[in-house]
Amino acid sequence: MQFSGRRRKLAVHSQNDLYSHCLQLYVQPPLENISLSEFETFAVERLKLLKTVENLGVSYVKTTEQYTKKLHAEISNLNFPHKAEVDEASFTKSQVGPSEYEKRRKDHISHFILRLAYCQTEDLRRWFIQQEMDLFRHRFNDLSSKYKTEFLHKNNLKYDTLSADEKMNLKDQLINSTFGFSGITIVEQDFYKVPFQDALDLIRTRKVFLRGGYAYIPHQDIVTIVLNDFRTRLSKALALTARSLPAVQSDERLQPLLNHLSHAYVGQDYSIQKNIGKISLEQIDPLSAKSFPLCMRQLHKSLRENHHLRHGGRMQYGLFLKGIGLTLEQALQFWRSEFIRGKVDADKFDKAYAYSIRHMFGKEGKRTDYTPYSCMKVILSNPPSQGDYHGCPFRHSDPELLKQKLQSYKLSPSGIVQILELVKGMHYQLACQKYFELTHNIEDAGFSLNHPNQYFMESQRLLGGVKEIKKEVEVPQKVQENSVTNGTSVSRQPNTTQAMEEMGDLDSYFADE
């Protein structure tokens, strides 16, 4: 092996083992010194990558060619490692731009830096883990079979394989439970017996054969197992990191950067109500038709019709109402007056339902002030079942029923067709944006929808709003990075440090959607 070593001859030699595979589970933290500027660049670039991962994940199905191509391009552009077939020559060969080794090193270091920024709250952790997993999944799937096996061995994931006899006995079941397998391929590929607790994603969607508590997983699907392992490790690691964070935060050079990084991506969560008490209960009916997104309009309508909503619906709608400015007293009155019209008497309401409303406002139990659900949350968690009206109508409603409903709301036929196309392509938030455009009679919504309360605010802004609601343009503390066209600028906090100003306009990295 010839090392032409320009800058770091010795370093490459000894650290060759460290980055011997383009993919890693980020077990060992990096042990070297780096400059502050490299620290910052690495972090920002990885954040950009993760943001792309998130956006692509919403706009495309993860297994489609469009998704993989776009993600691939971004990884390449930002100089992260993406190809496993790195021959030794190109490993150190001087090429335009960073070498493979340098890319892997950047991957390693930037991941650990972002852990520092994203370990602090449950929401941040969840976001970080989700994007890192999606990124990992894409990169792992990109590997050839040989490198996949190599990865498994290097990382100690050893599961029993089925013997040839066992496979023959279970041939039919394996064929019927595992996608893309025929009699021949069953014989050729290895099947692993993995305890079902380690293969939850495959079990949940019934993509593998399950017997006696073991999932029978073909070699090609082993990524899901690896991902579970990845998620568990990362989750634990983040919890540990959070505990040692105070030490890190005391370093003045790092603190502003880390803060800014973690705030840049949560977006506005509508938990700080600017308009508390500015909406009256009588306004809710007309507002539901004018300014509510379809999901909330649906919930409101079924509440009025049935004088009841089940738990999922109460949570989704109740928190939304809190977000648009209802006070606790108003909320109690609102729900109470509606439920009384149904089968619930005043007494029962006070005993059973009032508690949960106060809970929503942070006045009971853990006293957590719950935040209204974002679109992601509504689309991805707690799907509705029989008797439920919550969820995202673009995601959870039968297309036929959705069409009828939109027709009943007097939307134009061509508009409805467009919406249904978007729904078919699984672009639920874009479909809702289209709904916004059609109901407000405009060409372009001018914002990227990701929260029902955002829908309401934008609608009110457009319609001139109820007089008492002040227009909220500046965003306290948090960069509204999803506000598109004019690149909302960050409002300066009074305690902004020198360092932050020196960092330059970080937001220009992000406000380009």
97 scored as a contact of other proteins (CB under 8 A): no
Of 205 and 486, CB closest to other proteins: 205
Q: Among 121, 197, 485, 496, which residue interacts with other proteins (rule: CB under 8 A)?
A: 197
Q: Among 398, 443, 444, 502, which residue interacts with other proteins (rule: CB under 8 A)?
A: 398
Nearest approach in angstroms of CB 301 to other proteins is 11
The answer to whether the annotation marks 432 as part of a ligand binding site is: yes
214 scored as a contact of other proteins (CB under 8 A): yes
Instruction: Name the nearest CA neighbour of 376 among 450, 302, 484, 486.
Output: 450
Q: How many residues does the chain have?
A: 513
**SS3 state at 292:** coil
Residue 196, burial from CB neighbour count under 10 angstroms (0-12, 13-18, 19+): middle
Which CB contacts under 8 angstroms, 24+ apart, belong to 48-52?
Answer: 48/74, 48/78, 48/509, 48/510, 49/74, 49/75, 49/78, 49/80, 49/135, 50/114, 50/128, 50/131, 50/132, 50/135, 50/265, 51/131, 51/265, 51/510
Q: Among 241, 302, 330, 483, which residue interacts with other proteins (rule: CB under 8 A)?
A: 302
How big is the site for other proteins, counted in residues (CB under 8 A)? 40
2 scored as a contact of other proteins (CB under 8 A): no
Nearest approach in angstroms of CB 405 to other proteins is 8
Of 267 and 318, CB closest to other proteins: 318
Q: Restricting to residues 281-300, which ones interact with other proteins according to CB under 8 A?
A: 298
Q: In the sheet where 209-211 sits, what is the strand order? A: 160-161, 191-195, 214-218, 209-211
63 scored as a contact of other proteins (CB under 8 A): no
State the binding string over 323-362 for other proteins (x if CB under 8 A, else -). Answer: ----------------------------x-----------
396 scored as a contact of other proteins (CB under 8 A): yes
Strands 209-211 and 160-161, sheet pairing? unpaired
387 scored as a contact of other proteins (CB under 8 A): yes
The answer to whether the annotation marks 392 as part of a ligand binding site is: yes
Q: Among 66, 385, 412, 508, which residue interacts with other proteins (rule: CB under 8 A)?
A: 385
DSSP string, 250-286: T-TTTHHHHHHHHHHTT---S-S-TTTT-S-GGGHHH
Of 103 and 137, CB closest to other proteins: 137
The answer to whether the annotation marks 375 as part of a ligand binding site is: yes
Of 212 and 286, CB closest to other proteins: 212
Instruction: Name the nearest CA neighbour of 267 among 381, 127, 467, 397.
Output: 127
256 scored as a contact of other proteins (CB under 8 A): no
Q: Among 384, 411, 428, 479, which residue interacts with other proteins (rule: CB under 8 A)?
A: 384
Residues 300, 289: Cα–Cα separation, whole Å: 10
Alpha helices in 143-221, H assignment, sequence order: 145-154, 164-169, 171-177, 183-188, 200-204
Cβ atoms < 10 Å from Cβ of 103? 22
29 scored as a contact of other proteins (CB under 8 A): no
Question: Which residues are at the interface with other proteins (CB under 8 A)?
Answer: 173, 175-177, 179, 196-197, 200-201, 203-206, 209-214, 298, 302, 311, 351, 382-391, 393, 396-398, 400-402
> Residues annotated in the binding site for [4Fe-4S] cluster, as ranges?
295, 375, 392, 432
